Amino acid sequence: MTLGRLGRLWQIQRVIRKYGLLEFIGHKPTRTEPRGQRLRRALEELGPVFVKLGQALSTRPDLLPADIALELTQLQDRVPPFPGREAKAEIERVLGKRVEDLFAEFDLTPLASASVAQVHAARLKPASAREPGLDVIVKVLRPDVARMIRRDVNLMHLLAALAERWIPESRRLCPREVVNEYETVIFDELDLMREGANASQLRRNWIHSDIIYHPLVFWDYTRPSVLVMERLDGIKIDDVARLKALGVDFQVLAERGVEVFFKQVFRDNFFHADMHPGNIFVDVEDPKKPRYHAVDFGIVGSLTSSDQRYLAENFLAFFNQDYRRIAELHVQSGWVPAGTRAEAFESAIRTVCEPIFQRPLKDISFGFFLMRLFQIARRFQMPVQPQLVLLQKTLLQIEGLGRQLYPELDLWKTAKPILEDWMRTRLGPAANLERLRAQLPVLIEALPQLVPQALQRLSESGGSAVSHKALEDFRAEIRQGQQRNRRLIIGATLVLGAVLIYGLDGYRPWLVFNAPLLSWLLGGLGLWFWARSARSD
């Protein structure tokens, strides 16, 4: 262990003692200040990595004592700022012009300050004297933030490696893989060009939505350490008293938040993964149909198609109390160790879930459910899936926020139709035909190469021991297989053409006769080719 790491460990231990945090593990209290305030100040002193941890904890008042959760909310956008003149100097350095030449107005006092960067209000210079300039925000990275984060991430790597070596129970949690995932996420957050690209992608995905709005990025003013975006007006989502005074429908607001999350995950496969209250505002132009304004896009997530499918099926199986299906999915996905009996896993899941389902769905906390599932995971030595950690954190944030707004929130009721629609779209006949259409050119192009490749491999594996008759028999089988494949491809093409013609909804100016009849003829002919292919097996 290097002297630098030993020094950092000593500093962490010093801060723990300075703020009397041993109280949290059963030691006698030694300080009179409120414990939540002491924890918040300790995290601030330890730096960006620890502030991020506090931000994540602040979104779960249902899992933390209320006094601690409330105090940690100050970490969302009220971290002590750095001097505005330093932000101004960085803007001028990277953009190569004076701030006065770039903006009509620039406020040296930050609007908000977080662990990685702080935000200043500004106004762009108007195109002409008769036009008002556009209000924007200018986000600037904290000085030396990359070095501080690298120091703590390196320490986390060391602690993870030591844990895996000396604490066998920790291996199931995959600490090194989890730290690797966290390292990628937090260093991506240090590139504000990447954040601008994330914002632009989310804006495209939801450009016509009346549920959520994402700001416009001004790329001419954006660099890796400076980001300029449209300034959005709105009320902070945790300002419940003000929202209530304006007559906001909290049920609609909470359900729309759940809808946004599940559509981002399953429809778009691109989700905003830092949904703490400091990053969410509410447009109350129509209080009965409140609209979200999202900011801060440094952390986003996406999943592989197989993880998407397994998650959707797991959620739906949970909604339907189909514990057998949940067990099968975990075994099939490799999320449980090889050799795990589905029956035993099913029994354990039933033991956890049945008491939960004695209550109405709206009263079921996903956070509580996850904690019970983690108990099962420990029993079955099920490793943590690092690629899902970000998703789990975001879902817990969404549920915690939704329950603050509307305690009667039924997360499952809102999510289930979205998941069912995604499953139909992903696995239905139309989706299969689309995948077949996309793969047909590649398959047709590859067919002529299959015979020589197969003969070459056969020759290499069998050598001179392969008889002339055996080769001829093999060639005959290949030719028969080619004919069968041709029939399959022709049949698929005809059926696909039939579906496309039938789905033109009356717009068929290029057809000189009855289109439905033609589609039935093509479909029937395609099925005949498939039948011929099956008979030739």
pLDDT digits (tens, 9 = 90+) for 347-369: 888 887 777 766 665 666 666 66
Q: Pull the structure tokens for residue 420.
A: 């069912």
Indicate whether 114 belongs to any domain: no
The pLDDT-based confidence of 509 (bands split at 50, 70, 90) is very low
Kindly report which listed range (45-49, 290-294, 427-431) carries the lowest average pLDDT score. 427-431
Domain boundaries, position 167:
145-187
Q: What is the pLDDT of residue 323?
A: 86
Q: Is residue 165 predicted with pLDDT exceeding 70? A: yes
Residue, of 525 and 37, whose pLDDT is higher: 37
Indicate whether 311 belongs to any domain: yes
Q: What is the mean pLDDT of residues 239-252?
A: 93
* Residue 387 zone, left/alpha/beta (φ > 0; ψ -120 to 50; rest): alpha
Indicate if 410 and 451 belong to the same structural domain.
no
Residues 400-416 have pLDDT tens digits of: 788 788 888 877 778 88
Indicate if 394 and 437 belong to the same structural domain.
no
Indicate if 416 and 450 belong to the same structural domain.
no
Q: In what helix (H) or strand (E) does residue 200 lie, and over which residues does it extend? A: helix 192-205
Pairing relation of β-strands 212-213 and 291-294?
A: parallel
Indicate if 333 and 264 belong to the same structural domain.
yes
Indicate whether 393 belongs to any domain: yes
Would residue 274 show up in a list of annotated catalytic residues for this protein? yes
Indicate whether 95 belongs to any domain: no
- From 152, 238, 274, 283, the catalytic residue: 274
Indicate if 336 and 267 belong to the same structural domain.
yes
Indicate if 408 and 439 belong to the same structural domain.
no
Tokens 């662990």 sit on residue: 115
Q: What is the pLDDT of residue 247?
A: 95
The pLDDT-based confidence of 102 (bands split at 50, 70, 90) is very high
- Choose one of 75, 92, 112: the last residue of a domain: 75
Indicate if 277 and 329 belong to the same structural domain.
yes
- Choose one of 427, 451, 481: the last residue of a domain: 427
- As a whole-number percent, the residues of the chain with pLDDT over 90 amount to 25
Count structural domains, the chain. Answer: 4
Q: What is the pLDDT of residue 169?
A: 58
The pLDDT-based confidence of 465 (bands split at 50, 70, 90) is very low
Indicate if 456 and 408 belong to the same structural domain.
no
Q: For the chain, give me the number of helices (H) and strands (E)?
A: 20, 11
Q: Which residues pair with 301 in a beta bridge?
A: 271
- As a whole-number percent, the residues of the chain with pLDDT over 70 amount to 66
Residue, of 131 and 89, whose pLDDT is higher: 89
Indicate whether 216 belongs to any domain: no
Indicate if 397 and 454 belong to the same structural domain.
no
Q: What is the pLDDT of residue 82?
A: 92
Indicate if 441 and 529 belong to the same structural domain.
yes
Indicate whether 253 belongs to any domain: yes
Whole-number Å distance between alpha carbons of 372 and 152: 31
Indicate if 412 and 324 belong to the same structural domain.
yes
Indicate whether 130 belongs to any domain: no
Whether the full predicted model's pTM is greater than 0.75, yes or no, is no
Q: Is residue 245 predicted with pLDDT exceeding 90? A: yes
User: Angle 184-185-186 (CA atoms, 0-180°, nearest 5)?
Assistant: 100
Indicate if 421 and 436 belong to the same structural domain.
no
- Choose one of 427, 443, 461: the last residue of a domain: 427
Tokens 């011929």 sit on residue: 532
Tokens 């989502």 sit on residue: 237
Indicate whether 457 belongs to any domain: yes
- DSSP class of residue 217? B
Whole-number Å distance between alpha carbons of 232 and 119: 13
